Structure 1
Amino acid sequence: MSVFAGMPREQLQAALTAAQQALIELQTGKAFASVSYSQGDGAKAVTRRVTTVAECTALIAQLQSALGMRQRRRAFRFVF
């Protein structure tokens, strides 16, 4: 049983799209860990956890599998 069991296909597809976009942002350096700035009423900070490429790739693979998009690789056979 998948951790995504019971989720509607539309939700899975939306999550896959978001995960793929997050991976692109992570690989292009657009994802950030934290940003701080000062305003008239004091300092503000925004923090977002940045995952690793491996974590994003694993999530994408899980979502693709739940959507039936992943095909299993066939074994390589060498014929002489």
Structure 2
Amino acid sequence: MSRIPESYYFYKDQLRRAKEEKAKLQKEYESKINGLNDEISFLKEQIQAQHTMIEQSIDYVMKLEQQIKTFDLELSTDKEK
């Protein structure tokens, strides 16, 4: 029976370490990507909330402007009488 060369064990060990390092890096990468995705989702929610607030503010301002115009119109018709 022939003997396995010592270099085989060396490279086998190197390959095992490389696979472990690859798995570790893959987990770190996935963790970072998940963290970034969570942060992006949070920012999207904040932007949507701000967008809604701006829309509501614009609607409120438009209603106030309409009320002011109506009030001005009532005042001008009362002065004419």
- TM-score w.r.t. the length of structure 1 is 0.28
Higher helix share: 2
The structure showing larger relative contact order (alpha-carbon pairs under 8 Å, at least 6 residues apart) is 1
- TM-score w.r.t. the length of structure 2 is 0.28
Structure with greater Cα Rg: 2
